[in-house]
Amino acid sequence: MINELIIIIFAPLIAGIIAWALDVKGVREAIGLIGAAVPLAYLGKLYSTVLNETVNYSVTVSGFTLHFQLNTMSWYFAAVASLVGLAMAFGMASTSKSSYDWLFALMSYTGVLGVFLSQDFVGFFLLWEMMTFASFMMVVRRNRHESLKYFVLSVIGAYAMLVAIGILYAKTGALDFATIRQALYVDASIGAISTAETALIFGLFLTAFGVKAGAVPLHVWAPGAYSETDQSYTTFFSGALSKAGAYGFLLLYILMGYKLYAALGTFHGHLTFAYIIAWIGAITVVVAGFLAVLQEDIRKLFAYSSVSQVGYILLAFGLGSSLGFAGGLFHVLSHAVFKGLFWLVTAAIILQTGKTQFKDMGGLAEKMPFTFAMGLIAVLSLSGIPPLAGFASKWLIYEAAISAHMPLVAGAIFLGSGIAFAYVVRFLYAVWFGQRPSDLEDVKEAPLPLLIGMAILAIPNLLFGVAPGIVTEYINKMLGGEVVGGDYYRLVTPTGTYNAMLVTIALVIGLAIAGLIYLYGARVRKIRVTNTYQSGNPVTEEFNLSIRKNFYRPLAEALDFWLKYSWDRFYERLAGMTEDFADSLRQAVYNGNVQSYSWYLAIVLLILALWGVL
Amino acid sequence: MIDWKLVLEVIGMLIYATFMGFIFMGIERKAMARIQRRVGPPIYQPIIDTLKLLGKKESVTHGFIYDFGPIFALGASIAALLFIPLAGFRLFSASADLIVVAYLLEVPMLGIMLGAMSSGNPYSAVGVQRGLLTMVAMQLPYGLALIAIIQHWGTFKLNELVSLQQAQGWSILVPALFLAMIVFDIVFQAMLGLEPFDIITAPAEISMGPMVEYGGKHAALLFTQHAVQLFAETAFFAVIFLGGASNLIELLIKQIAVLFIAIFVASIYPRFTIDQAAKFFWKWPTILGIIAVLLTM
């Protein structure tokens, strides 16, 4: 009898390998879909078990004991990932034409599930690397430069983590989470690990998880990697894989929260280390948000937006209060479903039009009404319109940020949500409305599998929006206490309330009244888009009436000073300098001159002589 | 089962708010006229205007979203209104707090933008762009002002805000919150779409911006929406800074006081350009807001 946890983790990988090996059109899609659906099915089956007890499984490989556990928290993350994974598989059935994509997409799915379920650093790191490698392979096929940027940063992150694990292992002698946690807890009072070492471990983990979460200034890989791949895969890449970083921050709390508190102390009443995380999150929200507004490419816009939204999660975790964790965990779910939906919509647009630039698109709402409706749900959820899932989670983060007495961080979220409004409207305007370029006249609605994938993600947006209590009830169980009160439709915190159902009802009442006024008025006549006011002048089809380029030019001008500095350019320059240095080193040392090599020998001998060896 | 008293209150309040909103619009026009030494239209003029627009024989449309935009905007305004404690009428205000109401008050903007964008008119697009940039710009000081309020009173609930203020004095009597009020008042000007921040509609500059294509019943919907929104926003101001009210007359006096400040400012300042507005919002109101927030910590 194979353990269920092993099935959950490795089903996608096995399906991916079979799909890759068979490579028969139709069959590989079916196998891939089954492989993607299995984890969700098993997680669903284990739901009631997890609430009462943990499910454990250990296996010894090459002398290491890998320990997997399904507890309330890992179940939550795994369920979110597998929901997005299933939607991705449906999307890929339409957009992907090669078995290569299936292999690596499903491999990264396995990696992500393994990261969430691992209870020791061996399994965690192995599957973390598998996840990185597979996602790199998805990008490298389309763009070498962007993929290498992603890979180098990921490797820096991963090896920073390896060093941190090494130090922890040297200090505690353990690799499994439970023992490390216990050892560090005890050490907080003894102080065998010095403050500097603790800070070093913290910094290394921060780098490792910051890269995956796309925290500023380690976000530069995200716009390239998110856009230069199959957009259906990006659903998973940005919807679930970026959560591995967020999960890492949570792990940091679980493993060394108390030790970090003891070592680094507090800063104006906040935990110092948490305060750092909160500010990284706040800066990420604002910087990535502004960059998203100024993009001219649909994929780049959503890439930056994804970075910005993950910033909310980090920020919420950084607040350090249980309400903050509840908000962050809720946002993990809502970001996964709305951003996954966005990427599927993008996949549909790119599949049907073959274009990615805003300047080439417009007026697609009439051609792809269902995709448009899904896109609208995603827009409303992301910009936090009650009653959708995005609002409920943001509301919790607002409450938590202000209650935790971090007003400037809370101010950053206010700014961030205003920016989010601006960039989603840019997307709506440029893609769906206005004049349709003549070469888009024969665009058709997205294919059925893609639409199913969208529906899978749209339903949670609506369901958890109207009934956010379903999620918070589970989060309460995860956090072990009544953090967010209320019932299915009502969220209650110590300071505020939000009744999603009543807001929905009020909105429906309002819409009904407005609709009645509309119906009372005279009948309407539909006219063409070009039949419009142009200072009283006639307009024909040749005029381009839609503003498709540089839509937010005044903002770019207002931010002129800040846009002069770019992390992207900084890293490019750093890479260039390293390359030049390597070049000059090669030319200086390996110069082909026999006499220089004998001089090296002489110098080494001299050193040895001085050392007293000879 | 159904709470008939609540139903009646909701209906009554909606009618009252819409009517008073129109009167506020009339007051605005009348006061502006007096400031410029004109007689001005009668105070009920906006009602006549709206009825005229509703009576048009034909409306044009550019598609489903074009119709849906104004409806959504009015619907969201009505929803926002229902969650604000209006004097003795608490309606649904126990079920949503300050953050929810602040968000709901911004949703109508999205509705208007949505409809305007689908018309495909370049003036609308410029208006939408300016609207969103104004929103991005004003969001930071707006947020800071709200945070200052919440930190001082320690609650997000509007009903509690009102009762705390009635017990301990109005918000604006606290020095830090007075600063927050100044910030909020500057932002308020932009929320109401009045000079110097009437950048969104900017009549004479981009021919009414988002509303340029709307006529007939769509325009009537937008007028109604503006009336409800005006009432809701002034009431929101009164609730969080002026201690709410115990009866509708008191509320009305406070609302009109707030409105008059806005009108006086609007009638003597010319319009900002959009980049000036962004830079302005990120300078003085933000600095004041940060000071207010730090003082309330």
Contact A547 B96 (CB under 8 A): no
Contact A402 B297 (CB under 8 A): no
Q: Which of B100, B120, B135 sits opposite A532 (nearest CB)?
A: B120
| Cβ within 8 Å of B, A 373-412 | 383-386, 391, 395, 398-399, 402, 405, 407-408, 410-411
What three-state secondary structure class fits A490? strand
Instruction: Place A603 in a pLDDT band, splitting at 50, 70 and 90.
Output: very high
Average pLDDT estimate for A291-310:
89
Question: By the CB < 8 Å criterion, does A533 face chain B?
Answer: yes
Question: By the CB < 8 Å criterion, does B10 face chain A?
Answer: yes
Q: What is the pTM of this model?
A: 0.91
Q: Which residue of A has its CA nearest to B224?
A: A514
Contact A433 B294 (CB under 8 A): no
Instruction: Place B246 in a pLDDT band, splitting at 50, 70 and 90.
Output: confident
Cα distances from A480 to residues A73, A181, B88, in angstroms, run 11, 18, 40
Residues contacting residue A8 through CB under 8 Å, at least 6 positions apart: A38, A39, A42, A43, A70, A78, A82, A113, A117
- With tokens 């009668």, the residue in question is B42
Q: Which of B60, B120, B135 sits opposite A524 (nearest CB)?
A: B60
B132, B191, B222: best to mutate for the A interface, most A CBs within 10 A: B132
Question: By the CB < 8 Å criterion, does B291 face chain A?
Answer: no
- What's the pLDDT tens digit per position in A51-98? 888 888 888 888 888 888 888 888 899 999 999 999 998 888 888 878
- What's the pLDDT tens digit per position in A473-495? 888 888 887 777 778 888 888 88
Which among A24, A28, A457 has a CA at the least distance from the CA of A232? A457
| Cβ within 8 Å of B, A 293-332 | 293
| Cβ within 8 Å of A, B 248-277 | 273-275
Burial class (CB in 10 A: 0-12, 13-18, 19+), A432: buried
- What's the pLDDT tens digit per position in A143-165? 888 888 889 888 899 899 999 99
Instruction: Place A526 in a pLDDT band, splitting at 50, 70 and 90.
Output: confident
Which among B196, B220, B171 has a CA at the least distance from the CA of B54? B220
| Cβ within 8 Å of A, B 151-180 | 151, 154-157
Q: Is the pLDDT of residue B220 over 70?
A: yes
Pairwise CA distance, residues A151 & A293, whole Å: 26
Contact A366 B132 (CB under 8 A): no
Average pLDDT estimate for B2-19:
84
- What's the pLDDT tens digit per position in A374-403? 998 998 898 888 888 888 888 889 888 888
Which among B209, B198, B204 has a CA at the least distance from the CA of B119? B209
Which among B232, B113, B254 has a CA at the least distance from the CA of A510? B232
Which among B122, B141, B177 has a CA at the least distance from the CA of B295? B177
Burial class (CB in 10 A: 0-12, 13-18, 19+), A420: buried
Q: How many residues in total does chain B contain?
A: 297
Contact B136 A513 (CB under 8 A): no
If you compute the radius of gyration of chain A from its CA atoms, what whole number of angstroms results? Answer: 26
Token readout for B110 is 């999205």
Q: Which of A434, A496, A502 sits opposite B97 (nearest CB)?
A: A496
Q: Does residue B141 have a cis bond before it (omega within 30 degrees)?
A: no
Question: By the CB < 8 Å criterion, does B90 face chain A?
Answer: no
Question: By the CB < 8 Å criterion, does A554 face chain B?
Answer: yes
Instruction: Place A584 in a pLDDT band, splitting at 50, 70 and 90.
Output: very high
Q: What angle do CA A250, A253, A257 make, to 5 degrees?
A: 175
Spell out which residues of chain A touch residue B224, defining contact as CB-CB under 8 Å: 514, 517
Which among A218, A254, A432, A441 has a CA at the least distance from the CA of A345? A432
Spell out which residues of chain A touch residue B10, defining contact as CB-CB under 8 Å: 509
Question: By the CB < 8 Å criterion, does A516 face chain B?
Answer: no
Q: Which of A413, A546, A551 sits opposite B120 (nearest CB)?
A: A546
Which ranges of A265-406 does DSSP label H, i.e. alpha helix? Answer: 272-293, 298-318, 322-353, 369-382, 389-403
Q: Is the pLDDT of residue A614 over 70?
A: no
SS3 content of chain A, % helix, strand, coil (to 5): 75, 5, 20
Residues contacting residue B95 through CB under 8 Å, at least 6 positions apart: A490, A497, A498, A499, A502, A503, B83
Buried-state track A240-260, b at ≥16 Cβ within 10 A, e below 16: bbbbbbbbbbbbbbebbbbbb
Question: By the CB < 8 Å criterion, does A507 face chain B?
Answer: yes
User: Between β-strands A270-271 and A64-70, what pairing exists: parallel, antiparallel or unpaired?
Assistant: unpaired
- Mean pLDDT of all residues belonging to chain A: 86
Pairwise CA distance, residues A286 & A420, whole Å: 10
3-state SS record for B133-159: HHHHHHHHHHHHHHHHHHHHHCCCCHH
Pairwise CA distance, residues B130 & A470, whole Å: 39
Estimate to the nearest angstrom the gap between the alpha carbon of A220 and the chain centroid: 14
Count the neighbouring beta carbons within 10 Å of the beta carbon of residue A443.
19
DSSP category for residue B271: P
Residues contacting residue B292 through CB under 8 Å, at least 6 positions apart: B144, B145, B148, B176, B177, B179, B180, B183
Q: Is the pLDDT of residue A1 over 70?
A: no
Q: Is the pLDDT of residue B194 over 70?
A: yes
- What's the pLDDT tens digit per position in B96-124? 788 888 888 888 888 888 888 888 788 88
- The interface predicted TM-score (ipTM) is 0.89
pLDDT at A172: 84
Q: Which of B76, B96, B150 sits opposite A402 (nearest CB)?
A: B150
Q: Does residue A12 have a cis bond before it (omega within 30 degrees)?
A: no
Spell out which residues of chain A touch residue B273, defining contact as CB-CB under 8 Å: 554
Which ranges of chain B does DSSP label H, i.e. alpha helix? Answer: 4-35, 45-54, 64-82, 98-104, 107-118, 122-153, 158-168, 175-192, 216-241, 248-268, 274-281, 284-296
- Gap from B121 CA to chain A (nearest CA, Å): 6
Residues contacting residue B78 through CB under 8 Å, at least 6 positions apart: A506, A509, A510, A513, A514, B14, B228
| A20 residue type, one letter | W
3-state SS record for A106-140: HHHHHHHHHHHHECEHHHHHHHHHHHHHHHHHHHH
Which among A342, A551, A386 has a CA at the least distance from the CA of B117? A551
Instruction: Place A583 in a pLDDT band, splitting at 50, 70 and 90.
Output: very high
Say what the alpha-carbon torsion angle B32, B34, B39, B43 is, to the nearest 10 degrees.
Answer: 60
Contact B92 A399 (CB under 8 A): no
pLDDT at B1: 67
Question: By the CB < 8 Å criterion, does A510 face chain B?
Answer: yes
pLDDT at B215: 78
Pairwise CA distance, residues A108 & B177, whole Å: 52
Between B241 and B58, where is the model more confident? B241
Instruction: Place B149 in a pLDDT band, splitting at 50, 70 and 90.
Output: confident
Reported in sequence order, the residue ranges of A419-559 that DSSP labels E, i.e. its strands, are 490-492, 497-499, 524-526
Average pLDDT estimate for B13-22:
89
- Gap from A306 CA to chain B (nearest CA, Å): 18
Count the neighbouring beta carbons within 10 Å of the beta carbon of residue B40.
15
Residues contacting residue A15 through CB under 8 Å, at least 6 positions apart: A31, A32, A34, A35, A36, A38, A106
Question: By the CB < 8 Å criterion, does B128 face chain A?
Answer: yes
pLDDT at A62: 81
Estimate to the nearest angstrom the gap between the alpha carbon of A613 and the chain centroid: 56
Q: Which of A398, A411, A527 sits opposite B60 (nearest CB)?
A: A527
Share of chain B above pLDDT 90, in %: 2
| Cβ within 8 Å of A, B 180-219 | 207, 212-213, 216-217
Q: Which of B61, B65, B143 sits opposite A410 (nearest CB)?
A: B143
pLDDT at A576: 92
Q: Is the pLDDT of residue B208 over 80?
A: no
Token readout for B252 is 């009305």
What three-state secondary structure class fits B112? helix
- Gap from A206 CA to chain B (nearest CA, Å): 28
Q: Which of B59, B95, B122 sits opposite A524 (nearest CB)?
A: B59
Question: By the CB < 8 Å criterion, does B126 face chain A?
Answer: yes
A172 neighbors A255 (Cβ within 8 angstroms): no
Instruction: Place A2 in a pLDDT band, splitting at 50, 70 and 90.
Output: low
A328 neighbors A316 (Cβ within 8 angstroms): yes
Contact B117 A434 (CB under 8 A): yes
Question: By the CB < 8 Å criterion, does A413 face chain B?
Answer: yes
B3, B22, B99: best to mutate for the A interface, most A CBs within 10 A: B99
B15, B51, B57, B103: best to mutate for the A interface, most A CBs within 10 A: B103
pLDDT-wise least confident of A8-22, A295-309, B57-71, B219-233: B57-71
Q: Which residue of A has its CA nearest to B56?
A: A522
Contact A405 B151 (CB under 8 A): yes
Q: Is the dihedral of CA A224, A344, A326, B239 positive or negative?
A: positive
Contact A385 B92 (CB under 8 A): no
Estimate to the nearest angstrom the gap between the alpha carbon of A49 and the chain centroid: 28
Question: By the CB < 8 Å criterion, does A41 face chain B?
Answer: no
B227 neighbors B21 (Cβ within 8 angstroms): yes
Which among B175, B151, B149 has a CA at the least distance from the CA of B162? B149
Helix (H) or strand (E) holding A61: strand A55-61
pLDDT at A199: 87
Q: Which residue of B has its CA nearest to A290?
A: B136
The DSSP line for A257-296 is: HHHHHHHH-EETTEEHHHHHHHHHHHHHHHHHHHHHHT-S
